[in-house]
Chain A
Amino acid sequence: MPSAESATRVAFAATGVANLASIQAAFRRAGAAPYLAADPEDLASAAYAVVPGVGSFGSAVSALRAAGMDGAIRDRITRRAPTMGVCAGMQIFFEASEESPGVEGLALVPGAFGRFPSSLPVPQLGWNRVTPPDPDSLGASLNLAESTEALIRPGWAYFANSYRLIEAPPGFDASGAEYGEAFVAAAERPGLLLCQFHPELSGPWGLALLKRWLAAGAAGDAAGDVLASKGRSA
């Protein structure tokens, strides 16, 4: 186990009622040191940041806005600083959700969430197969930077959601799952990983994803330095 001082620190944005125990325990198992961001500057400047997901779309969005964290998240996205959104913490990045009509999301990613059809038991509670996009498909290969490998691998993930995104957002590599219909299980692009499922509750598969995310962030950091120095020399 790395010591608390040497471990990678991961800042969490408080979304009010979120249960942080599970996701923080999972990050500790992944070798990182999770902590609650004290203020927007803390969140903006953190090496890694997570927007956790429990509670409704509306309550999560208003908790983030009330704490001024929306600006910090926006700032991170602009800089492509490693950021992850989980479940409701994924949904707040988008424009809207049927769950909280009239509430505007952070709208950093286009798209809106709708409810699963009532012909199925809702919420979806349980494990579902996640399928990464076909690497040969044109859309997927266009959306990923050449040097970046998709973080999501095929496997079983744990979901707890009533609302879902149907259309893959433009500019993202989207993984799918089926709950009576196909929906977006995760969407990623360099610097941003949005998971509808709970990686912290998805067993060894989820833990491996957290580790890859941490590793990609470290690698991205190095790449960013290279880009920055190229920029300076140009």
Chain B
Amino acid sequence: MRSVGALRVIPCLDVDGERVVKGTRFINLVDSGDPVELSLRYEAEGADEITFLDISATIESRRTALESIRRVRDAIGIPLAVGGGVRRIEDAARLLEAGADRVAVNSAAVADPGLIDELASRFGVQCVILAIDGRRKAVGGAAAWEVVVEAGRRATPLDAVEWAREGASRGAGEILLTSIDHDGTGTGYDLELLRSVTAAAPVPVVASGGASRPEHFVEGARAGARALLAAGVFHRGELTIGSVKRSLAEAGMEVRL
């Protein structure tokens, strides 16, 4: 079996203006730092990429967040993916110009799936991440997940697995898959959701939502994720990037150490 490169471990910064915050189930935000300081710390610890989610709610803090992206970009020498508030091509162009290497779309792509095609044709598939927030549906029989938008507040008729497949065929080069049920619970990734999406989409999948222990990252990788994302456990210092990567290596997986 030939190598397929290293699994990525990605800390996620939820940024409001110039501060990193992290919600539990997207509510109850607790401030945990300066995005530049945190990014540099994570790069030194071996982070393979930084994901920057702009959760700014006002125009003013959105402008500040753009400045934060510039500062992070100037400071770090690893890839920077940015999402949050991308509604139109121009929004993505602005983030790329500020220093994002890749951009993530979520709600706007649900409202207008053609946005994915447009972004891919303008910036290339490697530049486009489709962020999907999935929530398990209470139905009898086979497991199913609905796509939810607006930071988990609104359900849509879309099926998360089908949406991942469609997004990839439209030109998303990666799926950032968050389980709304698991996010903030520390119970590990939703492995069943992860397996379903990695089987359906021919692009790399980033697992998100619920990892709090090294074995959760190992399980996520075994379920098919090519990258493993977490936020609060890193910000609070409960886990280090290095310890997670060593656990993956001990489990026989290839990581950049």
Binding site for B on A (CB under 8 A): 17, 19, 21-22, 25-26, 28-29, 54-56, 88, 118, 120-129, 156, 158-162, 177-182, 198, 200-204, 206-207
With A156-B6, A180-B2 in contact, is A19–B78 under 8 Å at CB?
Answer: no
Contact B126 A127 (CB under 8 A): no
Query: Is B173 interfacial (CB 8 A cutoff)?
Result: yes
Q: Which residues of the other chain, B, contact A206 by a CB distance below 8 angstroms?
A: 77
Q: In whole Å, how far is A65's beta carbon from the nearest beta carbon of chain B? A: 19
- Are A123 and B125 neighbours in the complex by a CB distance under 8 Å? yes
Known interface pairs A19-B101, A21-B98, A201-B79. Does A128 touch B3 (Cβ–Cβ under 8 Å)? yes
Please state if A127 and B6 are interface contacts (CB–CB under 8 Å): yes
Interface majority SS (helix, strand, loop, mixed), chain A? mixed
For chain B, residues 54 to 107, give those with C-beta under 8 angstroms from any C-beta of chain A. 70, 73-74, 77-80, 96-102
Contact sample, A vs B, 24 pairs, CB 8 Å cutoff: A19-B97, A21-B73, A21-B96, A21-B97, A22-B79, A54-B123, A54-B127, A121-B202, A121-B205, A122-B203, A123-B174, A124-B5, A125-B174, A126-B6, A126-B7, A126-B204, A126-B227, A127-B6, A128-B6, A156-B6, A158-B48, A160-B102, A160-B126, A200-B77
- With A19-B100, A21-B98, A129-B3 in contact, is A203–B126 under 8 Å at CB? no
B2 and A178 within 8 A (CB): yes
B-side contacts of A201, CB under 8 Å: 77-79, 101
Q: Name the residue of chain B whose CB is nearest to the CB of A28.
A: B74
Distance in angstroms from B92 CB to nearest chain A CB is 10
Q: Which residues of A contact B41 (CB under 8 A)?
A: none
Specify which of B7, B70, B96, B203 is in contact with A19 (CB 8 Å cutoff).
B96
Residue of B nearest to A60 (CB): B124
State whether the Cβ of B226 lies closer than 8 Å to any Cβ in chain A: yes
Known: A21-B96, A121-B204. 4 other contacts (CB 8 A): A125-B204, A126-B5, A162-B126, A179-B2
Closest residue on chain A to residue B124 by CB atoms: A55
Q: Counting chain B CB atoms within 10 Å of each CB, which of A123, A129, A162, A182 scores highest?
A: A123
Max count, chain B CB within 10 A of own CB: residue among A19, A25, A56, A198: A19
The interface residues of chain B lying within 8 Å CB-to-CB of A156 are 6, 256
From A129, A178, A203, contact of B78 by CB (8 A): A203
Chain A residues with CB under 8 Å of B8's CB are 125-127
**Cβ-defined contact, B80 with A22, below 8 A:** yes
Smallest Cβ distance from B125 to chain A, in angstroms? 6
Query: Contact partner of B77 among A122, A126, A203, CB < 8 A?
Result: A203
B142 at the interface (CB under 8 A from A): no
